[in-house]
Amino acid sequence: MEKDQLGYRLWMRCRDVAAALIAGCWPGREFADVVTRIEAARPSVQKQIVFGTLAALFVISLGAAQFGILGLCVFWLIVIWLIR
């Protein structure tokens, strides 16, 4: 039972991060709107949206890492700005 709760909490955190990033890049949409759209999709599509967004974030972070600590700082500032 505890394993299921941990998996569910982890899924919710990943979904929230993906929704916040999508809402930050999608003008005119609030975080709650994006979460509602993700929840309305089929489970397989939900996984594609969440893991696709997080995979894109990871790939972009690898590109930013090519520019060293300055690139990573700029990357994280942009991510924080989008989520805020």
How do the domains of the chain map onto residue ranges?
2-83
User: Residue 20: what pLDDT?
Assistant: 93
pTM of the entire structure?
A: 0.83
Q: How confident is the model at residue 67 (pLDDT cuts 50, 70, 90)?
A: very high
Does residue 77 surpass a pLDDT of 60? yes
The string of DSSP letters for 23-78 reads HHHSTT--HHHHHHHHHHS-HHHHHHHHHHHHHHHHHHHHHHHTTHHHHHHHHHHH
Cα separation, 44 vs 83, in Å, equals 25
Write the pLDDT tens digit of every residue in 9-53: 999 999 999 999 999 988 888 999 999 999 999 999 999 999 999
What is the reported pLDDT for 1? Answer: 42
